[in-house]
């Protein structure tokens, strides 16, 4: 019997092309709730599992932010990090049109266009972090520096203070 082949997403193809090593974690998901739910399901610590958020600035440019799944984006800090006066998160219904991905499967890698990307600075504290693999049911674990390189991102403090 033929072995079932992992279906590669744009994110995985991009990492392969850049010769960046990563691990795919697959999981069953009837309906996407949120990143915390997925982290719990996979037994992953929240601080190492990053969600991808997309915002639009006053300039009408789009920006991508990666923050730990249990944190909130600080919109003022996020705007400052990309030189905007302010940014607001895009509506869920617009995610596919802007990124090519759906809610719950959105990843900073392999989007329709390369948008300025900011990763919360705590990612650098770990050997590996986990992000969406580009579809629901798939996560990618890789080094934060490889993620930074692949997403052409920078690290900054962009979460709300607790």
The number of angstroms, rounded, from the C-alpha of 41 to the middle of its chain's C-alpha atoms is 18
- Label residue 152 exposed, middle or buried (CB < 10 Å: 0-12, 13-18, 19+): exposed
Listed residue (34, 61, 29) closest to 50, CA to CA: 34
Q: Is residue 20 part of a domain?
A: no
User: How many of the other CB atoms lie within 10 Å of CB of 40?
Assistant: 14
Q: How far apart are CA 30 and CA 68, in angstroms?
A: 23
How far CA 12 is from CA of 20, 36, 45, 112, in Å, comes to 9, 23, 23, 14
- Please give the distance of CA 66 from its chain centroid, rounded to a whole number: 5
Lowest mean pLDDT among 25-29, 41-45, 84-88: 25-29
Contact 118, 78 (CB under 8 A): yes
In a domain, 92, yes or no: yes
pTM equals 0.92
- Residue 161 pLDDT class (50, 70, 90 cuts): confident
pLDDT in tens, 92-131: 899 999 998 988 888 999 998 999 999 999 999 999 999 9
Structural domain containing residue 84: 25-156
- Domain tally, the chain: 1
Helix (H), strand (E) at residue 81:
helix 75-81
How many angstroms from the chain centroid is the CA of residue 111?
A: 11
Q: Which domain CATH number covers 91?
A: 3.90.960.10
Extract the tokens encoding 28. 């069953």
Using alpha carbons only, what angle is made at residue 74 by residues 68 and 78, rounded to the nearest 5 degrees?
A: 95
């Amino acid at each position: 019997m033929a072995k079932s082949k992992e279906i590669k997403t744009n994110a995985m193809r991009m990492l392969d092309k850049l010769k960046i090593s990563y691990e795919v974690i697959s999981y069953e998901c009837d309906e996407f709730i949120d990143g915390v739910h997925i982290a719990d399901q996979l037994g992953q610590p929240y601080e190492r599992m990053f969600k991808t958020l997309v915002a639009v600035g006053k300039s009408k440019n789009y920006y991508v932010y990666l923050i730990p799944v249990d944190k909130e984006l600080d919109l003022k800090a996020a705007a400052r990090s990309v030189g905007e006066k302010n940014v607001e998160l895009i509506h869920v219904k617009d995610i596919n049109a802007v990124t090519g991905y759906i809610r719950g499967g959105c990843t900073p890698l392999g989007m329709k266009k390369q948008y300025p990307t900011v990763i919360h600075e705590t990612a650098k504290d770990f050997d590996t972090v986990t992000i969406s693999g580009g579809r629901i049911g798939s996560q990618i674990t890789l080094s934060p520096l490889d993620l930074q390189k692949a997403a052409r991102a920078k690290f900054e403090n962009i979460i709300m203070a607790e």
